[in-house]
Structure 1
């Protein structure tokens, strides 16, 4: 209880905002190369054995990597209940499409090699492509809509009303953000495949990865230019009570052009986030050109982290703006759970997160090394 009293409410809110970012980065960096591998699968594998090499490069780790998605969803539910209520209800159809893909993916992994029929295996290969492309695209589309503001408001009794449609989510800027997501995960997967495979598969992955890295840089830059010159952002116009109750309607806010770049002007050190995004993607490109798969994987991971951090740095203290009523926008300091809830969750996270990191590190250590065609043939009864 002494520690509970020492950690002030505003400190816990900031800690959980940072932890949410870490969980999202953890998911994007680990499960991201799984999803990206699905995107690249039909193009880097020209025959059955090559595609099996690609699938088996992620086969032992993809299930464990999805832990980060579960942790992220759980953190939103427990730490930011209003964010959970708006996003999981307003984006319901989009979430359903993502879940459909994530449910189909293990089915495709398990059933793909159950029959020798070429047509059967090809259908499951394209299913894995779909299961990699769709979540990658929609996650980026969701970020694009967050940056524009989501159409929700509060009633007089604080009931949340979402007034948007699924098709409205697929607007041009959101789709641009979706393409950034697809490109950066394809880049990340290419680094993984160059690191884990040899021969023709690695060479094709290298070529596609260089293209994906160039697209990541170009599309990310375009999104930034549009945010600065065309798109509007949100700004708080009242005093922010960092210790206040979780009631978004107690503040005032406005929509203003270029507002998402005000944090960079006020706190220049936050520019490290977008710089890391660009440097990571360019570093991945150079590493792929040099056929350094491990370095390319590291650089693409840093680039992904930088791109995600740049969104958080731009929007802070907002976590979900409202396009219908800027006052209803959810912020770090007015939409969290109680002080005690955040503290109990922090204790649990301090216990279990190191365990997750430890066994994840151990698994990757055990599975270190490349996957080649001979290994797949020798493990006929065990490989995918």
Structure 2
């Protein structure tokens, strides 16, 4: 209880804002190369055996990687209940499509090789492409909409109303953000395939990865320019109570051009996030060009982390701004759970996250090495 007293409410709110970012980065980095490999499957692998090599390169690890998605969803539910309520209801159809794609992925893994028919296997290969491309695109589209503001409001009884629709999410800036997401995950998936495969598959993946690296840099830069010049941001124009109650309606918010770049001007250290995004993508490009898969994979992971963290750095202290009632916007200071809840969750997280990281590290150590075509042929009863 002494630690509970030392950790003030505002400190815990910042810690959990940071932890949500860590969990999102963890999911994007670990499951990202799975999704990227799925997107590349029909293009980097041409024969049935080559495609089985790609599938088996992620087969032993993809399921464990999704732990980060479950942790992220659970953390949002417990630490930021209003964020969970607005986003999971407002983006319901979009999330349904994502979950459909993620559910189809294990089905495709399990059923693809149940029959020898080339048509049967080709259909499941395109399902794997779909299950990689769609989540990557829609997650980026969601981020693009969050940066522009989401059409929700609170009623007099704090009931949440979402006034948007699914197709309204598909605006030009959001689609651009979706393409950034797809490009960076293809970059990551190509780096993974260069590490885990050999021969024609690795070379084709390397070629596509180089293109994806360039697209990541160009599209991310374009999104940044539009965010600074054309997309209005939000700022709190009233006094901020960092330890106040979780009631978003107690503040005043205004739309302001260039608000999303204000943090970079006020706190220069936040520039580390977008810089890391560019440096990571360029490092991945260098690793792919030089055929250094470890460099490419690590740099791609850093680039993904930088791109995601730059969104949080731009928006702080906003978590989910409202485009129709800016005062209803959710911020770090007025949409969290109670002081005690955040503290208990922090203790649990401090115990179990190191266990997850240690176990994941051990699994990757055990499975280190390239997927061999000969082994796929000889162990058809065990391989995908």
Please give the residue correspondences for 1:6-17 in structure 2 after superposition, counting only pairs within 5 Å.
Answer: 6-17=6-17
Tell me the SS of whatever aligns to 1:235: strand
CA distance in 1 between partners of 2:190 and 2:372 (Å): 16
* Corresponding residue number in structure 1 for 2:93: 93
CA distance in 1 between partners of 2:211 and 2:258 (Å): 30
What runs of 5+ residues in structure 1 fail to find an aligned partner? none
CA distance in 2 between partners of 1:124 and 1:321 (Å): 39
* Corresponding residue number in structure 2 for 1:281: 281
Tell me the SS of whatever aligns to 2:309: helix
Q: With structure 2 as the length reference, what TM-score do the two structures score? A: 0.99
**Quick check: 1:235 aligned with 2:235?**
yes
Deviation at 1:240, TM superposition (A): 1.0
* Corresponding residue number in structure 1 for 2:144: 144
* Corresponding residue number in structure 1 for 2:348: 348
**Quick check: 1:251 aligned with 2:251?**
yes
Tell me the SS of whatever aligns to 2:334: coil
CA distance in 2 between partners of 1:117 and 1:326 (Å): 56
CA distance in 1 between partners of 2:292 and 2:220 (Å): 24
Tell me the SS of whatever aligns to 2:235: strand
Tell me the SS of whatever aligns to 1:12: helix
User: Deviations along 1:144-186, whole A, 9 cap, x unmatched?
Assistant: 0000000001111111111000000011100000000000000
CA distance in 2 between partners of 1:203 and 1:101 (Å): 28
* Corresponding residue number in structure 2 for 1:223: 223
CA distance in 2 between partners of 1:27 and 1:344 (Å): 23
Tell me the SS of whatever aligns to 1:369: coil
Deviation at 1:44, TM superposition (A): 0.5
* Corresponding residue number in structure 2 for 1:191: 191
CA distance in 2 between partners of 1:268 and 1:239 (Å): 23
* Corresponding residue number in structure 2 for 1:124: 124
Tell me the SS of whatever aligns to 2:114: coil
Deviation at 1:69, TM superposition (A): 0.2
What runs of 5+ residues in structure 2 fail to find an aligned partner? none
Deviation at 1:253, TM superposition (A): 0.8
Tell me the SS of whatever aligns to 1:161: strand
Q: With structure 1 as the length reference, what TM-score do the two structures score? A: 0.99
Deviation at 1:246, TM superposition (A): 0.3
User: Deviations along 1:264-314, whole A, 9 cap, x unmatched?
Assistant: 000011001000000000110011000011110000000000000100000
